[in-house]
């Protein structure tokens, strides 16, 4: 069995599998060349041949244990009918939803697939092109995080527009979250049908939800999505990433049904080993800055995290996505350091 799948099934391995969030991206010269060929970011996402190519590039270069589909969490809002475009140097922009009419105007969950069909083709391409030992991860944004972009029309430092709608018009906010949740289930279901072996839910802004709001709008939608996917695809492994959840990481496996909880670098690996890993596989959590600075500090931190989490199932990863200023040589050093111990025995 592939090492990633073994870890997600709860096995403790001598060397954890490794992949990296945003591993196909702007730090790689070959990615930049393919992006230029595509013309713009969305054209790259919707071109199955080129999206397949950029997904494979870090596998060829580094030999990661998993590939993650190249796409974007905002393709779902676009498929639901939102206008989406990217501003160079600034990031995504969307048409905004500020009241019930905006939710009513969105497409239904069964009407998203024409837009997303190229993504499913990319998954099919990858399922046949990846080396036999490399697992294929599909993904989507979690409903709260996707909603923050749909409400504000862009990324915001504190998700204030989404919090304002949540607090001022709870009915509209919850209707939007329901629509996103339904679409996400169908989107991930199609990815699995196309060949994804694992799926991951990225809740990048989960940390801004506090108290009951975290339970209602981070935990509950994740539970609903995971439950439905596992009903349709028994045995499907799911990774959940409620970034900056803090103490909210504790119990997240049981509360949502996730097989693995990814943790960011604001929590210490030793704390994760004590409070989160007893419930199941954990993923993380090297600071992304080490991919820029490298050196002895990188080596030391890789060893520290690996050793701290060696007592249970672990998938080595960054605490957040790799940044465009990262040095590919540091990625190679990270992998070399992680794998310096005895090789993983065959299953």
**Which residues form the catalytic set?**
22, 26, 35, 72, 149
Give kind and range of the element (H or E) at residue 241: strand 238-242
DSSP state of 77: H
Strand partners, 87: 91
Contact 92, 84 (CB under 8 A): yes
What is the DSSP secondary-structure string of 90-157? Answer: TEEEE----SHHHHHTSPPGGGSHHHHHHHHHHHHHHHHHS-TT-EEEEEEE-HHHHHHHHHHSS--S
The angle subtended at Cα 324 by Cα 31 and Cα 142, nearest 5°, is 90
Q: What CA dihedral angle connects 11, 225, 201 and 283, to 10 degrees?
A: -20
Q: How far apart are CA 138 and CA 19, in angstroms?
A: 13
Distances (CA, A) of 284 to 53, 140, 268, 317: 26, 18, 10, 4
């Amino acid at each position: 069995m592939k090492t990633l799948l073994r870890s997600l099934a709860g096995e403790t391995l001598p060397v954890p599998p490794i992949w990296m969030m945003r591993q196909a991206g702007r730090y790689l010269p070959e990615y930049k060349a393919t992006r230029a060929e595509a013309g713009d970011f969305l054209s790259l996402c919707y071109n199955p041949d080129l999206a397949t190519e950029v997904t494979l590039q870090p596998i060829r270069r580094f030999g990661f244990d998993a590939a993650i589909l190249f796409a974007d969490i905002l393709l779902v809002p676009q498929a639901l009918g939102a206008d989406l475009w990217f501003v160079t140097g600034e990031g995504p922009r969307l048409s905004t939803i500020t009241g019930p009419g905006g939710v009513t105007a969105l497409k239904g969950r069964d009407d998203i697939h024409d837009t997303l069909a190229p993504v499913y083709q990319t998954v099919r391409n990858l399922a046949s092109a990846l080396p036999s030992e490399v697992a294929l991860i599909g993904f989507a944004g979690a409903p709260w995080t996707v909603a923050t972009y749909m409400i504000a029309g862009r990324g915001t430092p504190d998700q204030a527009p989404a919090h304002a709608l949540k607090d001022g018009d709870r009915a509209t906010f919850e209707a939007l979250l329901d629509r996103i949740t339904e679409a996400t289930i169908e989107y991930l279901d199609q990815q699995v049908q196309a060949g994804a072996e694992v799926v991951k839910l990225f809740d990048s802004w989960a940390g801004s939800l506090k108290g009951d709001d975290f339970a209602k709008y981070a935990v509950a939608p994740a539970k609903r999505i995971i439950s439905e996917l596992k009903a349709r695809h028994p045995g499907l492994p799911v990774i959940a990433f409620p970034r900056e959840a803090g103490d909210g990481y504790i119990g997240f496996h049981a509360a949502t049904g996730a097989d693995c909880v990814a943790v960011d670098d604001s929590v210490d690996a030793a704390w994760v080993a004590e409070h989160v890993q007893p419930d199941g596989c954990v993923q993380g959590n090297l600071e992304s800055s080490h991919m820029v600075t490298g050196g002895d500090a990188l080596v030391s931190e890789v060893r520290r995290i690996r050793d701290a989490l060696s007592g249970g199932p672990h998938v080595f990863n960054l605490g957040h996505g790799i940044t465009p200023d990262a040095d590919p040589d540091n990625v190679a050093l990270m992998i070399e350091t992680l794998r310096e111990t005895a090789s993983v025995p065959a299953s």
